[in-house]
A and B are shown apart, each in its own frame.
Chain A
Amino acid sequence: MRVTAILTTALAMAAAFIVLLGFFFPVPALLELRAILTNWAMTIGGMAVFIGVLNLVAVHIGKIQKRQKGSGSGVILVFSLLSVFTYGVLFGVEDPLMQMTMNAVIAPVEAALMALLVVTLTYAGIRLLRWRGDLAAMLFLAVVVFFLAAIAPKPFDNGILDGLIVNVAGTIAQGGARGLLIGVALGALLTGLRVMFGIDRPYGGD
C-alpha cells in the first residue's frame, strides 16, 4: 500500500468517525467539527457537480467536432447549458428570465416526460403478462388493476368495496414497504461500515 493510499484511507476513516460520533454524542466540540466537515463535503460535492457539467460539455463538444451522430442535438445541449449557466451566474437564479427558464422549459418537459410514463408503464404491464405468467406477476397486476379501480374517481358510489381494497392492499403493502426500507437501511449501514473500516476504498485508496 502506497503512502498516499494510507493517508487517504486514514482521512476517510477519521472523517467518518468524527461525523458519526457527532450523530450519537452531541458534544458541542464534536458537533462543531461535524458541521465543518459536512460543509467541506458539501463544497467538494458542489465542485463535483461543476466538474460533471464540465465533462458533459466536453463530451458533447468532442462529438460536435467529430461530427458524430446526434451532434446536432449536442449543439442545443451545449448552447442551452452555457447560456442558462452564464445568465444565472451574472444575474442570479431569482432573476425573472431564470424563473422563466424553469417555468417554460424545465417544469413542462419534466411534467411531459412524467406523462409519457402512463404509456410506458401500461406497455411494461402488458409485456410482464406476456413474459412472466407466474403467481407473483399475476398478483402484482391484479393489485395494480384493483388498486387503480379503487382510487379512481367514479360516477357511482362504491365506497365500501373501494375502502376494503385500499385497506387490505395498503396494509399488506405497508408491511412489505417497511421490510424493503429496513433492508435498504441495513444495506446502507453495512456499506457505511465497510467504508468506515477501510474495507471498501472507492476514493482510490488501493
Chain B
Amino acid sequence: MFTLDFISGLIGFILTLLIFSYLINDNPLFRMAVYLFIGAASGYAAAVVWQYLLAPQVSVVIYSEDLGEWLLAAIPLILGVSLLSKLSPKISSLGSVAMALFVGVGAATALGGAVLGTLVPQVGAAIGAIDVQADSGDAFAKLIEGGVMLAGTALTLAYFQFSAERAPDGTPKRNIVFEGIAGIGRLFIAITFGVLFAGVYMAALTAMIERLNAMVDFIRPWIGF
C-alpha cells in the first residue's frame, strides 16, 4: 500500500493544500511549504551542479597524470574556491580574478547571443514580414500584416527614446512629433503586454486545473467516487 508513488502523491497533496491555504491569508503553513520547497530545490540544484559540473573536474584533479589536463581542471576550481573570499569584506579582493573572468566571458557570451541570437534574426524577420515576393500567398494581406508588425516594432522602440530638450521652465520635454509617436508606441506595448498577460493567465489556469485534478485523483479511491 505505501508504495513510493503513494507517498509521493500524499506529500504532493498535502503541500498543494498548504500552498492553496494562501488564498485564505498568508499563514505559517504556507510559509512552511514554501521554505521546504526552497530548501529542497536549492539542495537539488546544488547536487546537480556537484554531480555534473564539479565532481568530474575534481576527479580529474585527483586522478589525472596528464599535466595539461590537470591544469585545465585545477585552475577553474582554484578560481572557484577563491570566490569564498567574497564572504568576508577583508579578503574579498582575492575573488576578483575569478569574478573578472566570469564577468568577461559572460559579457561576451551575452553580447554574441544578443547579436547572433536576437538582433540579426529579429531584424531579418521584421524585414521578411513585408517581403511580398517571398511566398505566393495574398500579397496585399501580407503587406498589411507585415506593415502593422513593422510599425509595431518601430513604434515600440521609439517609445523608449527618452532624449529631450529643456523647456523654458527647466523641465525636460520631448519633441511633439516624437511624443505622438511614443504615445502610439505605448498603445502597441499595452496590446503586447495584454496578449502576454493572457498567455501567462492561461498557463496559470492550466496549472491550477492540473493541481486540482491531481488532488481529486489522489482522494478519489478513499471516498469512493
Contacts and interface: CB of A to CB of B under 8 A. Distances in A.
B153 A179 contact: yes
Interface in A154-188: 169-186, 188
B15 A109 contact: yes
B204 A118 contact: yes
B125 interface: yes
Interface string B4-34: 1001110110011001101100001001111
Contacts of A182: 118-119, 122-123, 153, 157
Contact of A179 (B31, B44, B47, B156): B156
Given A182-B153, A183-B157, A108 B101 contact: no
B115 A171 contact: no
A194 to B, nearest CB: 8
Name, among B4, B115, B185, B198, the residue most crowded by chain A CB atoms within 10 Å (CB to CB).
Answer: B198
A37 to B, nearest CB: 5
Contact of B32 (A18, A76, A106): A76
Interface stretch (B50-58, B131-139, B163-171, B173-181): B50-58
Given A93-B44, A184-B118, A139 B191 contact: yes
Nearest to A188: B114
B210 A40 contact: no
For chain B, what secondary structure do more than half of its interface residues adopt (helix, strand, loop), or is it mixed? helix
Interface residues of B, number: 114
Contacts of A23: 108, 112, 115-116
A172 B203 contact: no
Nearest to A122: B201
A195 interface: yes
A1 interface: no
A173 B192 CA distance: 4
A171 B102 CA distance: 39
B104 A14 contact: yes
A27 interface: no
B103 A202 contact: yes
B40 A84 contact: yes
B51 A189 contact: no
A68 interface: no
Contacts of A20: 108, 111-112
A202 to B, nearest CB: 6
Given A83-B43, A121-B201, A192 B107 contact: yes
B24 to A, nearest CB: 11
Given A48-B83, A185-B118, A172 B31 contact: no
- The 10 closest A-B CB pairs, nearest first, are A175-B152, A88-B47, A179-B156, A143-B194, A47-B80, A176-B192, A84-B43, A192-B111, A80-B39, A115-B208
